[in-house]
Amino acid sequence: MSAQGIGLALLLLGVLLYAGKLVRLNFVPAQKLFLPASIIGGVIGLLMGPDVTGLLVRTLAGDQAPGAGGLIPADILGVWSALPGLLISVVFATLLMGEPLPRFRRVLNLAGPQLAFGLSLGAGQYVVGILAAVLILAPVFGLPLMAGALIEIGFEGGHGTAAGMRPVFEELGYPEGADLAVGMATVGVISGIVCGIALINWAIRRGHSAVLEQGPGEIPVSQQRGLIAEAERPRSAGNLTVRPESLEPLTLHFAFIALAILVGVALQKLLVLFEALTWGGDEGVELLGAVPLFPLAMIGGLIVQQLLQRFDRHRLLDREMMLRIQGFALDLLIAAAIASLSLTVIAANIGAFLVLAVLGIAWNIGMFIWLAPRIIPRYWFERGIGDMGQSMGVTATGLILMKIADPENKSPAYEAFGYKQLVFEPFFGGGLVTGIAVPVIYAFGPWPLFAVMCGLLAIGLASGLLYFGRQRGEDAG
C-alpha cells in the first residue's frame, strides 16, 4: 500500500477515536460502563466494516451492491490490522521508562500479597485455559491446543497484547486466535467493570468494605464523561526537559522509545542466533524465534532507563511525557484492533469463545471472593478489586474499580497496586510468559506449560496463604 494510503488510514482512525469520544460524552450507558473512547471508536469502525454493514447490504441488495464490502475499504482495514503489531512495542517500551525501581523490601512488604494474588490469577488462567483446550475445545470444537492461552492473552493481557500477538498466531498457523483474543479482551473489559461494580455493592452489604459504609458514591458527571474540569486542568501533560528550539521534548522522548525498541530487536536477534547454535539448527525446534518483539522492547526500555539513570546527569527523561506517548499509542492500537476484528471468525467459533469467556470470568471472580480475603491481610477488598479488574481487562479497569471502592484513598491500594505491576508486568499480561506461551504449546504440546503454570499457581497460593495472609502489621499494608 502507498504511503498516501497509510496516511489516510491513520486519519480515518483519528476520526473514529473522536467519534468514540463524542459517544462517551453524550451516551449515558457508555459513561456508566466507563468505556474508553478507543473501544467505542473501534466498535464504530467494526460496525461500518464488511462483517456488519457489508453483511447487511449483501443480505438486502446482493453481493454487487454498493457498500457490499462495508463502508471501509479493504486496504484501510489492512493497515489497521497491521498497526497493533507495531504499536504494542511502543506501549511496552514505555512501561518502565522514567519509573525508578523501588527497593525490594518495600515491594515485598507492601505489594507481596498482591503479587501472590496476581500470580495466582495469571497462572490460573493458563491452567483453566489449557484444561479447557484439552478437554473441550480440541475434541468438541476442533480448535488447536494453542487456544488454551487465549484467556490469559485476552483477559490478563488486554487488547494491546491480544492484537500484538497476531503475528505469532499467524506464523504458527492459527490466525483465528488473534481475533478470538481481541474479542476475549473486549468481553473482559466490559465484564470487569460490570462485575466489579456489582462486587462493590455486594461487599458493602456484607460488611467486607473497610472504607465504604453505604453504596459507592456517585462518580462526578465530568469523570463519567471522561472530562477534566477547566479549573482542574494541568498546564502541561508532561515536564519539558529540553528547550523546544533545540529539540522538541516529544521528539526527544520518541528517540528514547526508538532506542528501547531497537535494543529489543537486538535481543530478539540474539535469541534467534542462540537458538540456532543450540537446540535449533536445520531440523530443531523453533521456540525463541517465535517470541514477539514487545516483551523484549519492555526489557529494552528498562535497559535504556537504567543507562540514563546512571549516565544522564541532566535527567532528560520525563515519566509523564512517556505516559502520554504510551496512551496515544494504546488508543490507536485498541481502536485499530477492534475495527479490523473479524466477527466471522468469532461467529464460526462462538461455542468455544463462550466457553473460554465464561471460564475466564468465573475464575477471576471466584478467586477474588475466595482467595483475596485469605491472602491480603488488610484492606483485602479495596486492594484485591484492582487486581481482579486488571486481570479481566486493562490496568485502567483496575484503577477505576479501586477509585469507586476507595474514593478518598484511605487504603494503600494504589501504592501496592503500582509496586505489584512493576514486578508482575514483565512476565504476565503481555510480558515474557505471555509472549512465549503460544510457541511453547505449539512446539511441545500443552503439558509442559501446564506443569509450569500449576507450579506457579502453587507458589502464589502457598506464599499468600502461609506467609502474607498471616501478616497483620502495618508493613503488610
Rounded Cα gap, residues 296 and 301, in angstroms = 9
Distance in angstroms (rounded) separating the CA atoms of residues 192 and 188: 6
Distance of CA 195 to the CA centre of its chain: 18
Q: Considering the entire predicted model, what is its pTM?
A: 0.79
For residue 39, the model assigns a pLDDT of 85
pLDDT at 205: 80
Cell readout for 13 is: 482512525
**Residue 191: which of 219, 154, 137, 146 has the closest Cα?**
154
Alpha helices in 51-157 (DSSP H): 53-61, 74-93, 104-106, 112-132, 138-141, 150-151
Give 62-109 pLDDT, tens digit per residue: 888 888 889 999 999 999 988 888 888 898 888 778 877 666 676 677
224 by Cβ neighbours in 10 Å (0-12 / 13-18 / 19+) ranks as middle
Encode pLDDT of 171-222 as tens digits: 899 999 999 998 998 888 888 888 988 898 888 788 887 766 655 555 677 7
Per-residue confidence (pLDDT) for residue 477, from 0 to 100: 43
Residue 406: name the closest of 422, 389, 421 by CA: 389
